Chains A and B, each alone.
Chain A
Amino acid sequence: ILNVEQSPQSLHVQEGDSTNFTCSFPSSNFYALHWYRWETAKSPEALFVMTLNGDEKKKGRISATLNTKEGYSYLYIKGSQPEDSATYLCAPSNAGGTSYGKLTFGQGTILTVHP
């Protein structure tokens, strides 16, 4: 089981603010890092799958970066909108041992965007 930490646990921002949060994970034997968005009363929805050090992915106003050497990923939201309110989950997987091929989910960052 990988040790995954997401910070902050929760975040309140105003509409139009840009924001970012962090996912930290063990850097050894890294294989892949997933980001999911989870809206209340819905199911988690995949945002990005990242595998290479230095990877940057973008989907609309949301982007993510990956540093596998130091074991962290940042998720950025530019110009937050109320519909961005959700829990953002990261899930790394490593390439060795009993954790191979399994995603370990962090507890998530709860984002609330106020109009």
Chain B
Amino acid sequence: NAGVTQTPKFQVLKTGQSMTLQCAQDMNHEYMSWYRQDPGMGLRLIHYSVGAGITDQGEVPNGYNVSRSTTEDFPLRLLSAAPSQTSVYFCASSLKQLRKQFFGPGTRLTVL
């Protein structure tokens, strides 16, 4: 099993550009989530999904969209990047909601 994979590992964007961070898992997990990690702050939940076709907002959803068309994939879309979105983004999955989460390797995003 590859576990949770994320692409790209690094990305630099200009303000106003859009992009999609990819996340995939091969463990048949129902629950998937996106977090951002900023210096001096804990991991903050952006969006999550309890199954294909179902998504909901986390603590800091503004500026991000998600969809879950398959069990395996949970992409995170930045519609119009802003410098405040410079962060490290982690995708995580678990068998069900509130079971232990498996984290991907992270994507380091810089918005200029």
Contacts and interface: CB of A to CB of B under 8 A. Distances in A.
Interface of A: 1, 4, 31-32, 34, 36, 43-46, 49, 89, 91, 93, 101-108
Contacts of B44: 105
Contact of A107 (B41, B58, B102): B41
A89 B43 contact: yes
Indicate the size class of the contact surface on chain B.
Answer: 20 to 34
B101 A103 contact: yes
B53 interface: no
Contacts of A4: 42
A4 B50 CA distance: 24
* Dominant secondary structure of chain A at its interface with chain B: loop
B104 A108 contact: no
Nearest to B35: A105
Contacts, number: 50
A4 B106 CA distance: 23
A101 B98 contact: yes
Nearest to B60: A1
Given A1-B59, A102-B58, A46 B100 contact: yes
9 contacts: A1-B59, A34-B100, A43-B90, A44-B101, A44-B103, A49-B100, A91-B43, A103-B101, A105-B42
Instruction: Please list the 4 inter-chain residue pairs (A to B) with the smallest Cβ-Cβ separation, ordered nearest first.
Output: A46-B100, A105-B42, A43-B103, A105-B43
